[in-house]
Homo-oligomer: A and B are copies of this chain.
């Protein structure tokens, strides 16, 4: 797999050894109520309890560390994200003693920008357009010599996210499948590469919001999304990209299941509420999407041989002053 895809289990294991000192081996939660209601054994991997509040800490720290290994004189890193990747990169840079700039649109909530600044990064404000974002990011990179660390389309980022699967299968070796909330696809690509290498029969499924329409592209084997890339109308702001990335796409085509779990806002809220009420975990809507997939008709109709199902609670960065069931 490694040769064909430019990424393999060894990259993930190397990532694990790079980051393990700084990230949490997040706990796995179960609920007998949930299992009885939905008829299988479910295991919820609490990446909401990860450093910076999401799994993104893993990929960002691996990417920053790999950059430094290849070039000790890098002055800093830059990315565009007002979300979890921005926080994660700021945190990772701080750990490795690098400067960091995060480009964010002038529409970003102050609380998110404060979180990024809290990790010592500079926030560079841009217009809320893809062009302004890219131009601003390029300018910072050129002016300061910072290296761009993409949120998902990067093999080191993908390998870092893959450490979730290694850890999860150490904790729950009997997993038959893993449900992965997906935006650009860095996490699902990394998890699938690692999980399939450790346990070839395991199935790794994408969970998507309505309108992403990944299954059609996966089954066709070609990118059928309209251009330019757009963002979806979903409450799950962590997974609102319609298109998978261009680095993640060939990996996903190779190792991720063609069946996709699609959930709507109402289902996502139900999933979030279950996590809050029964597992006592604060999760963001993208995590709720994972829970919703576990609760879904499609899961209900899955083959009975899929007994043990992992669900990635990918993050917990939600605005508790505006929880979606209050609006």
Chain A contact residues, CB within 8 Å of chain B: 27, 29, 33, 48-49, 53, 118, 273, 276-277, 279-283, 316, 320-321, 323, 325-326
CB distance from A115 to the nearest CB of B (A): 10
How far is A283 from B283 in the complex, measured between Cα atoms in Å?
A: 13
Q: Are B325 and A273 in contact (CB under 8 A)?
A: no
Residue on B with the closest CB to A317? B280
Partner of A27, one of B27, B48, B276: B27
Q: Are B277 and A320 in contact (CB under 8 A)?
A: yes
CB distance from A167 to the nearest CB of B (A): 16
Partner of A282, one of B33, B282, B325: B282
CB distance from A187 to the nearest CB of B (A): 18
CB distance from A287 to the nearest CB of B (A): 10
Q: Are B283 and A280 in contact (CB under 8 A)?
A: yes
Partner of A280, one of B118, B273, B277, B281: B281
How far is A321 from B281 in the complex, measured between Cα atoms in Å?
A: 15
Q: Are B276 and A320 in contact (CB under 8 A)?
A: yes
Q: Are A118 and B321 in contact (CB under 8 A)?
A: no
Contacts of A279 in B (CB 8 A): 49
How far is A285 from B48 in the complex, measured between Cα atoms in Å?
A: 21
Q: Are B320 and A49 in contact (CB under 8 A)?
A: no
Q: Are B320 and A53 in contact (CB under 8 A)?
A: no
Contacts of A321 in B (CB 8 A): 325
Q: Are A49 and B280 in contact (CB under 8 A)?
A: yes
Of A118, A279, A280, A316, most buried by chain B (CB within 10 Å of CB) is A280
- Given contact pairs A49-B280, A277-B282, enumerate 13 new A-B contacts (beta carbons under 8 Å): A27-B27, A29-B49, A33-B118, A48-B280, A49-B279, A53-B280, A276-B282, A276-B320, A280-B281, A280-B282, A282-B282, A323-B323, A326-B326
